[in-house]
């Protein structure tokens, strides 16, 4: 596969489904997952930036928790880099914390039990499936094609669309 010929938007569309599906679509062996995660974490530390208006949302909501496939170290690094860690009560790194990868719901059960969450925000179907299974309200972010209680394209819409319903 020639990376120069890949369309970034097309790749992101496949990754929004999940990385396993994207790997299969592009003919990438699962043996490469470790390298993919290493590169993903490295480059996201360099290039990631917070979504516009996210701090407004985080400061308004009482209890914020992250459930991620990303490793904890890179998650904490990014939160500290942008001074957002103070808004989070917990970070669950699914595999590091001994859970099966999403969309399996045990990591969400853990968060529900320990933090009494009532809303899950995600940009992929696999983020919202476990929440729906546990009867938790859902917000689809920048993905109109997934089932959710609410859909937003920008965090500027979160407060009026989700909180002031």
What's the pTM value of the predicted model, to 2 decimals?
A: 0.80
Domain of 101, in residue numbers:
54-163
Q: Which residues contact 9 (CB under 8 A, 6 or more apart)?
A: none
Pairwise CA distance, residues 31 & 66, whole Å: 27
What distance in Å separates the CA atoms of residue 165 and residue 152, rounded to the nearest whole number? 13
Answer yes or no: do 12 and 79 share one domain: no
Kindly state whether residues 15 and 84 are assigned to the same domain.
no
**pLDDT, tens digit only, all 165 positions of the chain:** 555 688 877 877 777 677 777 888 888 898 988 888 888 778 777 888 999 999 999 999 989 999 998 889 999 999 999 999 999 999 999 989 999 887 889 999 999 999 999 999 999 999 999 999 999 999 999 999 999 999 999 999 999 999 987
In a domain? residue 3: no
- Quick check: is 2 in a domain? no
Alpha carbon distance 74, 77 (integer Å): 5
DSSP code per residue over 83-120: T-GGGEEEEEETTTTTPPPTTSSHHHHHHHHHH---EE
41 and 58 part of one domain:
no
Domains contained in the chain, number = 2
Predicted confidence at residue 45, as pLDDT, reads 77
pLDDT at 23: 85
Same domain for 27 and 71, yes or no, is: no
67 and 117 together in one domain: yes
**Residue 1 belongs to a domain:** no
Find, among 132, 74, 67, the residue nearest to 140 by Cα.
132
Whether 149 is in a domain gets the answer yes
Contact 60, 163 (CB under 8 A): yes
């Amino acid at each position: 596969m020639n990376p120069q010929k890949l369309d970034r938007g097309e790749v992101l569309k496949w990754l929004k489904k999940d990385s396993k599906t994207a790997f299969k679509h592009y003919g990438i062996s699962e043996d490469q997952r470790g390298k993919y995660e290493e590169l993903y974490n490295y480059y996201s530390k360099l290039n990631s930036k917070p979504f516009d208006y996210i701090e407004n949302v985080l400061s308004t909501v009482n209890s914020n928790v992250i459930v991620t496939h990303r490793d904890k170290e890179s998650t904490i690094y990014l939160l500290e880099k942008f001074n957002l860690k103070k808004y989070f009560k917990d970070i669950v790194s699914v595999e590091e914390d001994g859970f099966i990868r999403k969309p399996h719901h045990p990591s969400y059960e853990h968060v529900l039990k320990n933090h009494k969450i009532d809303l899950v925000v995600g940009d992929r179907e696999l983020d919202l499936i476990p929440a729906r299974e546990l009867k938790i309200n859902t917000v689809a972010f920048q993905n109109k094609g997934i089932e959710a209680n609410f859909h937003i394209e920008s965090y500027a819409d979160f407060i009026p669309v989700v909180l002031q319903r």
